[in-house]
Structure 1
């Protein structure tokens, strides 16, 4: 790799005067304000999406519960007797 150009060393002029600063990962406060602001922010975002997500979930649950009741009825003794009338 001596003579090859590699990422970051493509033969351009050498850059001078670039200073970068960083904070140690041990000094950063990753969860600063998480309990203070996070809970309310999650609640606000959830409530803002509820009108879009809620109706399909409710509609799907109603379909599921009604067809579960119908399925249980058709597999009961009364349901089999009712099907025997038509078949």
Structure 2
């Protein structure tokens, strides 16, 4: 089973994927930022994006759940809405 979420934050595309065989991955502008092959505990992924002013912002996400998987995304310690596409 594969799940995928996307968000657009200040013209940066953030994609989070969860796949039973390939683990969890965080992409920012189609560049892999972090990945985890963990099947039993909630995953914690992190990365960095550049805002419109050139400042580096910390990105973190976590995926949890067994039968219904959920994902949360934070940019610079503020929650960002995600859209699940798969």
How high is the TM-score relative to the length of structure 2? 0.15
TM-score by length of 1: 0.15
Q: Which has the higher contact order (CA 8 A, sep 6+)?
A: 2
More strand by share: 2
